[in-house]
Amino acid sequence: MFSDFTIIGSGINGLLTARELIKAGATITIIEKNQFGKEASWAGGGILLPLYPWRQAQAITELVKISIKLYPNLNTELLSHTGIDPEWTQCGLFITKNPDLKLATNWCEDNLFTCLPGTEVQLQAFNTDALNPIWLPEIAQTRNPYLLAALLQELKSKKVVFLEHCSLQNIHTANNQIETITTTHGKKAVNQIILTTGAWTGELWQHLFGTSQMNIPEIYPVKGQMLLFDAKPDLLPHMILDDGRYLIPRRDGKILAGSTVETAGFEKQATSDAKQQLYNFATRLFPVLADFPVTHHWAGLRPGTQHGIPYIDKHPEITNLYINAGHFRNGLAMGPASAKLLTDLILNQPTSIDPAPYQLSAQH
Ligand SMILES: Cc1cc2nc3c(=O)[nH]c(=O)nc-3n(C[C@H](O)[C@H](O)[C@H](O)COP(=O)(O)OP(=O)(O)OC[C@H]3O[C@@H](n4cnc5c(N)ncnc54)[C@H](O)[C@@H]3O)c2cc1C
């Protein structure tokens, strides 16, 4: 018998959606064209807050606020079920330059986040021209590769069927229902389909349904590169954001420097130019980093949308097709609430936030 839901794509949004549906008693198959959990969700930084959230749409804040509350429990459950610690860490975020300080403090007040003035002592280790620095002590990070590994292991133990290196290529509909799909592993009968295909969703949708359709999700790849320094634990006690770029300290002392924002189609080669830019940024801001080697440099493809608002909806005509994609720069920060919202929509349950901004027909 085939599963209740076939989820296409095994990034954070596919895996968290599977987890929510399993809690509701559903059976799941996950189809992934590459390796499980190795695209944007692996490549990202894991900051659980958008950069300067007060400059973003309210629809982003709504998903972030709920997700932030869900993370500690998600971490505890995954650690106890799998032994893998996703390292949810409330290390705080220091933001060096805030020309829009009033907006920032109002946003924090409205959304109940502590926002303190950054102090001279906090700034001592950094080389930057600070302007209205602020300190957000409650902001956390997750070590996203570990989070994905824990989710995969937990889902395997729940009898999810995983098809790796298997690409969705076509769908076959009758009476406004998808009956079968064609994949690189052959044809399969399906019950319900969920697209969590990240940066590939816009292109895939056009391929599956053509361009004449209304409400094509405008999701496109936005390349981002990251650098990893092999530093030592506690060298940098918190995350720091300076002029749109950031440093993230992991528990084992590794420090990530990110990120670039590039339009390069589906090409995701790491480039020497970006490596130099990120290196210069990191060692200028935090000069002691120059004493430590760079051990990794990589790129990922964010699922870009114009305003960064994801599509979380049911297809308007095809009755067994759903989407949870287009999280742009904040898929980890919005993931748990996005999965919960889609699951509530699928199960016809009341939603904890207004689903309208995430509908296929809305502005994203
Ligand atoms: C450099 C960088 C830094 C980032 N930093 C942060 C951060 O600090 N905080 C934050 O919240 N977010 C961050 N992000 C954004 C975040 O990583 C993304 O928003 C999120 O990972 C999107 O998750 P996803 O599951 O939708 O997509 P993905 O993780 O890309 O997963 C989609 C999957 O679908 C698969 N797929 C696509 N088409 C098909 C098909 N036809 N058949 C089968 N499988 C298919 C893909 O292979 C892929 O594995 C960052 C991203 C980058 C690149």
pLDDT digits (tens, 9 = 90+) for 167-221: 999 999 999 999 999 999 999 999 999 999 999 999 999 999 887 666 789 999 9
Q: Which of 142, 332, 358, 364 to mutate to test the pocket of ligand 1 (most atoms within 8 A of CB)?
A: 332
Structure tokens at 345: 């929509």
What is the CATH number assigned to the segment(s) 5-46+148-218+308-358? Answer: 3.50.50.60
- pLDDT value at position 348? 96
Q: Which atom of ligand 1 is nearest to 34's Cα?
A: 47
Question: Residue for token digits 């954070």?
Answer: 12
pLDDT at 214: 67
* 300: amino acid identity, one letter: G
51 Cα: distance to centroid of ligand 1 (angstroms)? 17
Closest CA to ligand 1's atom 10:
330
Where exactly are the structural domains of the chain?
A: 5-46+148-218+308-358, 90-143+220-304
> How confident is the prediction for the chain on average, in pLDDT?
97
**What average pLDDT does the segment 94-121 reach?**
97
* Residue (of 217, 229, 218) closest to 253 by Cα position: 229
Range 277-284 average pLDDT: 98
Helices (H), the chain: 12-23, 40-43, 58-82, 101-110, 120-123, 144-157, 201-209, 272-285, 331-346
Q: Which helix (H) or strand (E) holds 182?
A: strand 177-183
CA of 302 to the centre of ligand 1 (A): 6
Q: Kindly report, residue by residue over 216-252, the tens digit of the pLDDT.
A: 899 999 999 999 999 999 999 999 999 999 999 999 9
Mean pLDDT of the 30-54 span: 98
Is residue 71 scored above 80 in pLDDT?
Answer: yes
Q: Which residue's CA lies nearest to atom 21 of ligand 1? A: 41
pLDDT at 35 over 80: yes
Structure token pair of residue 79:
């650690």
Q: Is the CB of 217 under 6 A from ligand 1?
A: no
Task: Give the phi and the psi of residue 2 in degrees, each rounded to 5.
Answer: -85, 160
Secondary structure of 188-201 as H, E, C letters: EECCEEEECCHHHH
At 121 the pLDDT is 95
Contact 45 CB / ligand 1 (< 6 Å): yes
DSSP designation for 53 = G
CA 323 to chain centre: 15
pLDDT of residue 93 exceeding 90: yes
- Residue 88: pLDDT band (50, 70, 90) is very high
Report the topology of domain 90-143+220-304: D-Amino Acid Oxidase; Chain A, domain 2 (3.30.9)
Residue nearest to atom 53 of ligand 1 (CA): 300
Contact present, 32 and 162 (Cβ < 8 Å): yes
By alpha-carbon position, which residue is closest to atom 51 of ligand 1? 44
Q: Are 312 and 338 in contact (CB under 8 A)?
A: yes
| Same fold across 5-46+148-218+308-358 and 90-143+220-304 | no
